[in-house]
Amino acid sequence: MRVAVAYSTGDPAGRGAGQALARLLSAEPTSCPGAVQCFKTGYLTIAGFPVEAVRLEMLDEAPDPQANAVIVLSKHRAESGRKSLTVHHPGNPTEDNSLGGRPLELAVAYPALAKALLISLAKASRETGLAESYEVTLEATHHGPTTPSKPVVFVELGSTEEDWRSPLGWETLALAVEEAIRTLPRLERECIPAAGFGGTHYVPKHTRLQLESGYCIGHTIPRYAFDRGVTAEVLRNAILKSYPGPARVALVEKKSLKSPQRRMVEEAAEEAGAKVEYI
């Protein structure tokens, strides 16, 4: 398994975390396709691009065409200002593509990598002391890029300018990525790939399962996406667009979805060959 790391050079959180990761791994400066900053070790390419992270549609070719997956380091923005360390997959479950990508299109998920990153992020936040003030959580699938054929997972630091410029925050993301890449092969062998449905944007029940259960969760389609016009095709793709193969289980937060919405998930799961488990 070969993973690349990308970030936007205009994003202080992504840039800071990318450079912290390069220092942690003693990566050497070099050049790579399309990037304005690039560092390499024997097994990892870390690169910064002069475009917003949500518009990194070129990740099949850059920074490493041979990579099987890409981790994107990014800032997280929330109106509440809540201090957060988050993991999520990109995709637009509805017609709204105001933050990049195509409408009604999901990127390819990598459930085992998302699990490795969330577990490692929780561990790293304890090591750096951020666990006392930052919430470690999954986010529901949202924003671009959506077109790469290889899986993409976002790791984010938020939610204010102060957080984005925190060296401890950068270090936390760097430590998490390094550990996640090391633990990924074991988790990929052991965990059961799943997709999540229902819940709020921060999907607390799915977050707990990601951290504590044998499930590894890829796409999560929140309750508000159902209220805003999610389609049957998107629900199927939440299960099917998963690396290295489709999710085997649809984890549905029962109380958060109306009966017709639950039936939509049940039908999509049946068509995609996944079983349904209510949580």
The pLDDT tens digits of the residues spanning 229-269 come to 999 999 999 999 999 999 999 999 999 999 999 999 999 99
3-278 CATH: 3.40.630.50
User: Distances from the Cα of 238 to the Cαs of 47, 230, 274, in angstroms?
Assistant: 28, 11, 11
Q: What is the mean pLDDT of residues 73-99?
A: 96
Q: Are 247 and 274 in contact (CB under 8 A)?
A: yes
Q: What is the mean pLDDT of residues 92-96?
A: 98
User: Distances from the Cα of 128 to the Cαs of 85, 122, 200, 263, in angstroms?
Assistant: 13, 10, 28, 44
- pLDDT for 79: 82
Percentage of the chain exceeding pLDDT 90 = 97
Q: Which two tokens stand for residue 279?
A: 């949580």
Q: Which two tokens stand for residue 178?
A: 């390094």
- pLDDT for 65: 95
- pLDDT for 105: 99
Model pTM greater than 0.95? yes
Residue 72, pLDDT above cutoff 90: yes
d(CA 255, CA 205): 12
For the chain, the average pLDDT equals 98
- pLDDT for 75: 98
> For residue 182, which of 22, 14, 43, 15 has the smallest C-alpha distance?
43
Residue boundaries of the structural domains of the chain: 3-278
- pLDDT for 81: 86
